[in-house]
Structure 1
């Protein structure tokens, strides 16, 4: 391979990568999911969605996360975990829900990540939803993200208080 062919190959390779990343960003739907639109469940047999809720999906059977602390504290801890993650943008925040977008390292595939909270029996309860915006599989990324979030939240020491 001559020097010119090598340079041309490198330029074509970089251009192909950039075109792929741009195409992914254009093709991915881009909408904020409001608290009233929190998904009830993942699509049946989905390989790109994980959820901790009564309709749990790819979450190790977890149906909720419960805390003996007020909702504001719990949601703040969730927000801090989200903001500590690489390639993540918080795009919606309410008193009882956050909506963020995680992007994969190589091709910047966007995944929605939602945390929704409410009070029940004096405790804070949260549900978690994570889904790829494109494709049919996430290679386990959303399941790992939801599991990592649950492990983190269960390990956080929060002040004990009633959720009202």
Structure 2
């Protein structure tokens, strides 16, 4: 093996090992929140790594909660469908009214948390969303885009019944 390919091999191996080390470090410092017992807090007013609509309205142009034309079961099924269509998204917790979804970025494997809360209010099915990055001071617009995608997916969808 000549000297140049060997140096390139070492350089590629060094980059790969450094990338693995960076991912391991990111995993170690970004613990997973437990949303099985409590819902997330509101985003801080000047936060750039958090977004929400409905009860958590932040960085989504004042988007209110989604009033869904269907029952809570239909809304749950649609949220599951939306998550299943997204790359690198996994439901880590769900119950009758709350989903905790973890979405992982492609290159650096950052994990972001999405919480979707569905409730019955005055006979209507109402959906709230909260998306946040676990580490860093900015999400580069990923969290608002994720929520826009969910809101667009749910917009115009109808369920089997218009009561909770």
Aligned residues: 162
**Alignment gaps of 5+ in structure 2:** none
CA distance in 1 between counterparts of 2:144 and 2:56 reads 14
Contact 1:88–1:103, Cα closer than 8 Å, also in 2: yes
CA distance in 1 between counterparts of 2:160 and 2:47 reads 37
1:24-51 alpha-carbon deviations (Å, 9 max, x no partner): 11111123212x5112411221111110
Relative to the length of structure 1, the TM-score reads: 0.93
1:6 aligns with 2:20: no
| Number of the residue aligned with 2:93 | 92
CA distance in 1 between counterparts of 2:93 and 2:86 reads 16
| Number of the residue aligned with 1:37 | 38
CA distance in 1 between counterparts of 2:157 and 2:54 reads 20
**Alignment gaps of 5+ in structure 1:** none
CA distance in 2 between counterparts of 1:37 and 1:10 reads 44
Superposed CA RMSD in Å reads 1.4
| Number of the residue aligned with 2:22 | 20
Q: CA deviation at 1:3?
A: 2.2
Q: CA deviation at 1:55?
A: 4.2
Q: After TM superposition, which residue ranges in structure 1, 4 or more long, deviate above 3 angstroms?
A: none
Residue 52 of structure 2 aligns to a residue whose secondary structure is strand
Q: CA deviation at 1:61?
A: 1.2
| Number of the residue aligned with 1:70 | 71
| Number of the residue aligned with 1:110 | 111
| Number of the residue aligned with 2:158 | 157
Contact 1:59–1:147, Cα closer than 8 Å, also in 2: yes
> In terms of mean alpha carbon deviation, does 70-79 or 92-101 score higher?
70-79
Residue 2 of structure 1 aligns to a residue whose secondary structure is helix
| Number of the residue aligned with 2:141 | 140
Relative to the length of structure 2, the TM-score reads: 0.93
Contact 2:70–2:158, Cα closer than 8 Å, also in 1: no
